[in-house]
Amino acid sequence: MLTQAPRGTKDVTPEVSALWQYVEAQMRDACAKAGYREVRTPTFEHTELFVRGVGDTTDVVQKEMYTFLDKGDRSVTLKPEGTAGVVRMLIENRLYAEAQPMKLYYLNSPIFRYEKPQSGRFREHHQFGVEAFGAAGATVDAEQIALAWDLLQGLGIKDLRLNVNSIGCPGCRPEYHDRLRAFLAQRLESLCGTCKERFDRNPMRILDCKSPECQRLITGTPSVLDCLCGECEAHFAALQETLGLFGLPFQVDPGIVRGLDYYTKTVFEILTDIGGGSLAITGGGRYDLLVEQLGGPTLPGVGFGMGMERVLMVMEAQGVAPPVQGLIDVFVCAQTPAARQPAMVLAMALRRAGIRADADHMARSLKAQFKYADKCAARTVAVLGEEELREGCVTLRDMATRVESRVPLDGAVEALKQCGG
């Protein structure tokens, strides 16, 4: 118990941290290219922020939040999604007063949801996310979708599918809700329990129900897309046109509803296939009312979240993770006990010269030191033995070619620097 990570959490061990760093670098690069700047928000926020932002009818708020009272009797919650905190930061720091659009991203943001862990689903996971504020037009929506798509493609992930939808705005959604209720009213008794509850408060979520019976009952429901107001319709048309111009293959899926209440107009998901089923790697959309709803100015926004663990999982499952790099460039072997200290000193000098270097810390035999150097994937081994110490030189061995040469000890750093280790 003591030596067991809490349920639904995962360690990043040394053998996988390199892959994390690789993916993080790609994400930063993608954002930098599109003019997004990094932000970091607290791991916990006032509970009220999520209740008002995410929506009190959502499963996330109703049953998945890590909420507790701190010692000052304040109700705080570990963030269950990334957007609310960024919006809070935007309002508090008056970022909306600067040049718009305000384009922001966050990386490795811990996200907490109390749910039953499963493959690709954790109680603590990490998200990469992108948000843009101030731009009402669909080009930002498309830009972000393209950013996510290109990033995932660049990481080598295969079988990507992009689904988009529009769920309207407060102007047109009530009408759709009415139509939906009218359609479902006579089948209400046959719906599953949760869907009966959804009927009044949030009937669109019924479309998302996975129960076969509910799926059967909703066939033939009116589509949101038929109820969009002129503005929403034009926005959705512009989105599709821009996605086309960007060369992104997409599918309109009127079934995408999303589990967070703040979305308006655009919603989208990027899925891939893994072990039989499909898995959402990215999801997001537009939230034109959220900033105002949380006490800020009237300011449109768009964003998405991408699950870091899911990205890594898919890369590993699809075998597209890049090969691991060698740990060091040069290993300095000491043949005799007398050579250990000079070996360590040489390694230190190499490090100071910018070369990744190491020497034996285990008082091991020369042979064992070579084995260790091999495991570290050192390209070069420098040997210090009786002879070398006597003559003031060092033997350099190229581990790939097995070619050896001798250089003066005081010129060793320069020599190794030149051959790049």
Partner RNA sequence: GUGGGUGUAGUUCAGCGGUUAGAGCGUCAGAUUGUGGCUCUGAAAGUCGUGGGUUCGAUUCCCAUCACCCACCCCA
In the sheet that 251-252 helps form, which strands lie side by side, from edge to edge?
Answer: 37-38, 102-112, 124-133, 301-307, 277-286, 264-274, 161-166, 251-252
Mark 290-319 with x for binding to RNA (rule: CB under 7 A) and - for no binding.
Answer: ---------------xxx-xx---------
Closer of 53 and 305 to RNA (Cβ)? 305
Residue 235 dihedral angles phi and psi, to the nearest 5°: -65, -45
Q: Supply 379's token pair.
A: 């390209």
Least distance between RNA and beta carbon 74 (Å): 25
Q: Between 66 and 96, whose beta carbon lies closer to RNA?
A: 66
Shortest approach of RNA to residue 387 CB, angstroms?
3
* Separation between Cα atoms, residue 84 and residue 94, nearest integer Å: 15
What is the per-residue binding string for RNA in 103-142, x denoting contact by CB under 7 A? --------x-x-xxxxxxxx--x-x---------------
User: Applying CB under 7 A, does 253 fall inside the site for RNA?
Assistant: no
Minimum gap (Å) between residue 68 Cβ and RNA: 16
Closest to 81 (Cα-Cα) out of 299, 317, 290 = 290
**Shortest Å, Cβ 256 to RNA:** 10
Instruction: Please identify, using beta-carbon distances, which residue of 251 and 365 lies nearer to RNA.
Output: 365
> Which stretch in 97-105, 177-185, 385-393, 413-421 sits in contact with RNA by CB under 7 A?
385-393
- Residue pair 194/188 in contact (Cβ under 8 Å)? The answer is no
To RNA, the closest distance from the beta carbon of 234 in angstroms equals 26
Give the other-Cβ count within 10 Å of 139's Cβ.
Answer: 15
Contact call for residue 100 and RNA (CB under 7 A):
no
Q: Which stretch binds RNA (CB under 7 A): 28-36, 135-143, 394-402, 411-419?
A: 394-402
**Binder among 327, 364, 407, 415 for RNA (CB under 7 A):** 364
Comparing CA positions, the residue from 104, 55, 44, 73 lying closest to residue 303 is: 104
Is residue 323 a contact residue for RNA (CB under 7 A)?
Answer: no
- For the chain, the straight-line distance linking the first and the last C-alpha, in angstroms and rounded, comes to 45
DSSP string, 232-246: HHHHHHHHHHHHHHT
* Three-state secondary-structure class, residue 230: helix
* Nearest residue to 307 via CA among 42, 118, 66, 45: 118
> CB–CB of 131/144 below 8 Å?
no
* Torsions phi, psi for 162 (to 5 deg): -110, 120
Please tell me the chain's helix, strand, coil percentages from 3-state DSSP, rounded to the nearest 5. 40, 25, 35
Q: How far is the CB of 50 from RNA (least distance, A)?
A: 13
CB 243 within 8 A of CB 164: yes
Strand partners, 264: 286
Q: Which is nearer to RNA, 89 or 378 (CB)?
A: 378
Write each residue from 8 to 47 as x if it is in contact with RNA (CB under 7 A), else as -, in one continuous string: x---------------------------------------
Is residue 343 within 8 A of residue 333, CB to CB? The reply is yes
Interacting residue with RNA among 86, 89, 260, 357 (CB under 7 A): 260
How far apart are the C-alpha atoms of 5 and 7, rounded to whole Å? Answer: 6
Q: Does residue 361 belong to the site contacting RNA (CB under 7 A)? A: no
State the number of binding residues for RNA (CB under 7 A): 69
Q: φ and ψ at 142, to 5 degrees?
A: -65, -40
Instruction: Kindly tell me which of 257 and 346 has the beta carbon lying closer to RNA.
Output: 257
Q: Using CB under 7 A, which of the segments 85-93, 96-104, 203-211, 241-249 binds RNA?
A: 203-211
Selection from 24, 22, 114 nearest residue 66 by Cα: 114
* 219 in contact with RNA (CB under 7 A): no
- Give the nearest distance from C-beta 72 to RNA in angstroms: 28
Could you tell me the smallest distance in angstroms from the CB atom of residue 242 to RNA? 22
Q: Which residues bind RNA (CB under 7 A)?
A: 1, 4, 7-8, 58-60, 64, 81, 111, 113, 115-122, 125, 127, 194, 205, 208-211, 257-260, 276-277, 279-283, 305-307, 309-310, 335, 362, 364-368, 370-375, 381, 383-388, 395, 397, 399-400, 402, 404
